[in-house]
Structure 1
Amino acid sequence: MSFRIRAAVDDDLQHLYEMAKLTGGGFTNLPPDRRALTAKLERSHAAFARTDGPVQDELFVLILENIETKEVRGTCQIFTQVGQSYPFYSYRIGQLTQHSRELNRTFRADMLTLATDLEGASEVGGLFLHPGERAGGLGLLLARSRYLFIKMHRARFADRILAELRGVIDEAGGSPFWDGLAGRFFGMNFQDADQFNAINGHQFIADLMPKHPIYTAMLTETARAAIGLPHPSGRAAMRMLENEGFAFENYVDIFDGGPTMTARTDQVRSIADARDSNVVGIGGDDGKDALVATGNLADFRAAFGKVREIEGGVVLADDCAHALAIREADRVTHVARI
């Protein structure tokens, strides 16, 4: 077991920055900007340090670490309650039906309406896996570790959860959706707008975005075709979300038109199926493949490992116990690896 998930620390800044430069744009939660990444780490430290209280606008940053080399090879984020510091905008896809009796014709028009319906939800985002590690299920480890963290700290999260998937980006790094809609009102290209949003927040959207519904028929063909489609690199992430119980409910990102997936927090598969157990033994490899987590807040750790359930608790394989620094009588949260 060579990899584990842990809380991000200040020494991870350079690793995060190097990964951010590999994203290829359109990755708002991981901007290639040291100041913005430092601010994220500071927010994350504050969130890990708060031990109780109600749901607040917080951010937890997690890291995928190679246990043997100590290299950081991936990251993911959890936002506890979006839309508190800045409005959380989405486009909601709707339809307007009109009928003319004289012409005996019915016309149905798809429309995009600026909405803040998802304010107050928690969000899983910022998942990035180094291109050299995209094998062996490490993306799944990153993604599902967030749900175990939520399970173990349930009072810190909302009853609804969302995930925004990056939309279609062309070979030049631009967004057909942005160019066909918002770009006309902002006088800036997609890369500049996306970077500004990542560093400064959404308020400029409220200031300049048209408030009236937009008829999609008035957009360019390329912009219409991008609505609700994930970036090709995000299709696997979309399938993982669907496997967890997330669904596309006609909300799309205001920048690139990518789909926003939503679910009820307690119905997310990895949260609903996870179990808490005492470790009653360590050794052997005859258990079932599982995702295992332990530790509270900044001490949170997660990894894949073999788990054998017996009366009174679970037995962990040696490598899993080593990766997570677990001893007998420790408590773990575990869910089957799927």
Structure 2
Amino acid sequence: MSFRIRAASDGDLDHLYEMAKLTGGGFTNLPADRRALRKRLGVSSAAFSRDEETLGDDVFVLMLENVATGEVRGTCQMFSQVGTNHPFYSYRIATLTQQSEELGRTFRAEMLSLTTDLEGSSEVGGLFLHPGERAGGLGMLLARSRYLFIAMHRQRFADRILAELRGIIDEAGGSPFWDGLAGRFFGMNFQDADRFNATHGHQFIADLFPKHPIYVAMLTESARSVIGLPHPSGRAAMRMLESEGFAFEKYIDIFDGGPTMTAHTDRVKSIADSQVATVVAVDDDGGERVLAATGHLAGFRCAFAQMREAGGGVVVDRTAATALGVREGDQVTYIGRA
């Protein structure tokens, strides 16, 4: 069974909506709201159509497609830079040290400070893989296809990149972190706030969020215990990000307390190690298992391939050549699977 990554189109609305309903909440970039998803696809279409090879305010949506059946089984997104239209808020975990000579004691208190430090960064997010396809490396294909896209369109992305991981969500769909902190200032539950953020943006945060630092010790135990932890379903994604060179630098999501991972764009492994070659032949004589991509903007395609060097270029297996739509003389960008 062969899968490929391709650019999303307006015809993917139903596919996105059906996947959004399966996320279980807390997935800001994939809300179960047709209007918001239609708008996201429109913004993505405009990004794929923009001619200037410059950093803009773009959102690119990619889809995972079964080549044989045309079924869409996953999606992911890239944001060229965050915080251009609305502030991009995070909490930064800091430590305040205070000493009392009279008591002979030193106190170290963790604090959460509202910050816009990450504004202007690019972001990879919105990754969702259908539960029936969570095997065979398709999550890796979705995740790393974004980095190959960035490598192939480098001027459209910033020098810093981030990824927000969903935080802990309880069985009722609530967030212990939200209930222990932000929920007290907004008068709405986590699901309502998350939905409002996904459909209306962050301005309400600027209007109502407390601007002064929050002492972690003053939060409920349930809120403290989930700070910086990813949702169980996101642990593998966190390990994958770490293997690419992302690190947790004590930034967390203001809604659910999940970790925000950051990296220098040019040091992300799949970007730094990507190679470009010309296809000199197509056959089924084997080769190294790689992720290969081709095409510009809306013509982008990415798939697993068997590839080997030959004649100053590379030989690609027939299945991958079909999935990618390449033939002799075409250029591919690729990265080893490991």
Instruction: Flag whether TM exceeds 0.5 (same fold).
Output: yes
Quote the offset at 1:53 in angstroms: 4.0
**Partner letter of residue 276 of structure 1?**
V
TM-score normalised according to structure 1 size: 0.99
**Partner letter of residue 7 of structure 1?**
A
1:123-148: CA deviation from partner (whole Å, max 9, x where unpaired): 00000000010010000000000000
Query: What is the aligned partner in structure 1 of residue 122 from structure 2?
Result: 122
For the pair 1:213 / 2:213, whether they are aligned, the reply is yes
**Partner letter of residue 206 of structure 1?**
A
Instruction: Report how many aligned residue pairs link the two structures.
Output: 338
Query: What is the aligned partner in structure 2 of residue 49 from structure 1?
Result: 49
**Partner letter of residue 238 of structure 2?**
M
Are the aligned partners of 2:280 and 2:311 in contact in 1 as well (CA < 8 Å)?
Answer: no
Query: What is the aligned partner in structure 2 of residue 263 from structure 1?
Result: 263
Quote the offset at 1:293 in angstroms: 0.1
Are the aligned partners of 2:179 and 2:189 in contact in 1 as well (CA < 8 Å)?
Answer: yes
2-structure distance, mates of 1:162, 1:311: 39
1:43-81: CA deviation from partner (whole Å, max 9, x where unpaired): 000000012142111100000001111111000000000
2-structure distance, mates of 1:286, 1:3: 18
Query: What is the aligned partner in structure 2 of residue 162 from structure 1?
Result: 162
Are the aligned partners of 2:229 and 2:257 in contact in 1 as well (CA < 8 Å)?
Answer: yes
Are the aligned partners of 2:80 and 2:123 in contact in 1 as well (CA < 8 Å)?
Answer: yes
TM-score normalised according to structure 2 size: 0.99
For the pair 1:26 / 2:26, whether they are aligned, the reply is yes
1-structure distance, mates of 2:335, 2:172: 41
1-structure distance, mates of 2:195, 2:231: 18
12-21 or 47-56: which moved more?
47-56
1:280-304: CA deviation from partner (whole Å, max 9, x where unpaired): 1110242100000000000000000
Taking only the aligned residue pairs, the percentage that are identical comes to 73
Query: What is the aligned partner in structure 2 of residue 250 from structure 1?
Result: 250
Query: What is the aligned partner in structure 1 of residue 299 from structure 2?
Result: 299
1-structure distance, mates of 2:284, 2:51: 36
Query: What is the aligned partner in structure 2 of residue 91 from structure 1?
Result: 91
Query: What is the aligned partner in structure 1 of residue 185 from structure 2?
Result: 185
**Partner letter of residue 6 of structure 1?**
R
Query: What is the aligned partner in structure 1 of residue 111 from structure 2?
Result: 111
Quote the offset at 1:92 in angstroms: 0.1
2-structure distance, mates of 1:170, 1:45: 35
1-structure distance, mates of 2:241, 2:250: 15
Q: Report SS of the residue matched to 2:25.
A: coil
For the pair 1:9 / 2:9, whether they are aligned, the reply is yes
Query: What is the aligned partner in structure 2 of residue 39 from structure 1?
Result: 39
Question: Which aligned segments of 4 or more residues in structure 1 are displaced greater than 3 angstroms?
Answer: none
